[in-house]
Amino acid sequence: MTKPETRAAFQERLEHFEAQLAQALRNASRTKEDVQVIAVSKKHSAESVLALAALGMQAFGENFVQEALAKQQAVQEVLPQNTLQWHFIGQLQSNKAKDVTGRFALIHTLDSEKTATILDRRLDESVPFQDVLVQVNVGRETQKGGVLPEALPLFIENIIQLPRLRVQGLMCMPPVFDSGDAARPYFAALRQMKEETEQRFGLKLPHLSMGMSGDFAAAIGEGATLIRIGTTLFGERLY
């Protein structure tokens, strides 16, 4: 299994992260129960996932469907089924939608009605519901996924008609150059969009997925309930 030095490196990164997290929670007058950590394991091996799982991490985020399914399979050979909770956080193309249903506790990145319709149709009695977040392109970046802020109300209106998709909240990824505290206005904007959406449609949206290694403290300050942490937990990704 995991080599001792690998385990020690993971333990050290995790402890360092947990200290930062505790500080961010204190600064925001929030508690551990308010924020779920999702370890982003893209480009990292199943062994690395298992090393972190052995230290108590339960939720993992993946960006690429094929890579995710292979890793889930490898992990399942070692851990009892459903020990870990998987989140899909990558761009979801409509032609891949059929491969993700039932395999992820939460899809963070819904931004296309076509994909939503395919997901909804794929669900049935065996997997009756799929929890989703709507990704918002808060920085209006052409290379990024997400619906534009002004398109959000109509998008939500259409998505909530689909009987098997359950919209749980919003997700964003601010422009990379605005890391740390510079990202905070984007997080505040997403929180406001969530509140407006709840009012307009009479919905309760429990989740705001925002904050990564470089900016999670700012996101926690603005009400993040799910933070997606890659580099800080796994080290640098090798591409």
Ligand X SMILES: *Cc1c(COP(=O)(O)O)cnc(C)c1O
Draw the binding track, 5-34, toward ligand X (x: CB under 6 A; -: no contact).
------------------------------
Q: Near ligand X by CB under 6 A, which window of 20-28, 97-105, 125-133, 228-236?
A: 228-236
Dihedral sign of CA atoms 93, 149, 142, 209 in order: negative
Least Å distance between CB 217 and ligand X? 13
Q: How far is the CB of 201 from ligand X (least distance, A)?
A: 25
Report the residue number, 25 or 162, with the smaller CB distance to ligand X: 25
Asked if 58 touches ligand X (CB under 6 A), the answer is no
Count of residues that bind ligand X according to CB under 6 A: 13
Could you tell me the CA-to-CA distances from 200 to 131, 152, 153, 203, 211 in Å, in that order?
20, 11, 8, 8, 26
Residue nearest to ligand X (CB): 230
Q: What amino acid occupies position 36?
A: Q
Contact between 171 and 108 under an 8 Å Cβ cutoff? The reply is yes
Question: Which amino acid, 232?
Answer: T
- Which of 7, 30, 42, 144 lies at the binding interface for ligand X (CB under 6 A)? 42
The mark string for 65-104 relative to ligand X (x by CB under 6 A, - otherwise) is: ------------------------x---------------
Please report whether residue 48 would count as binding ligand X according to CB under 6 A.
no
Q: For residues 201-220, which are near ligand X according to CB under 6 A?
A: 212-214
Residue 181's Cβ-count burial label (10 Å; 0-12, 13-18, 19+) is: exposed
What Rg, from alpha-carbon coordinates, does the chain have?
17
**Residue whose structure tokens are 């925001």:** 28
Q: Of 169 and 230, which has the nearer Cβ to ligand X?
A: 230
Give the whole-angstrom CA distance, residue 88 versus residue 103: 9
Determine the Cα–Cα distance for residues 38 and 211; give it in Å rounded to an integer: 10
Q: How far is the CB of 84 from ligand X (least distance, A)?
A: 17
Binding positions for ligand X, rule: CB under 6 A: 40, 42, 63, 89, 173, 212-214, 228-232
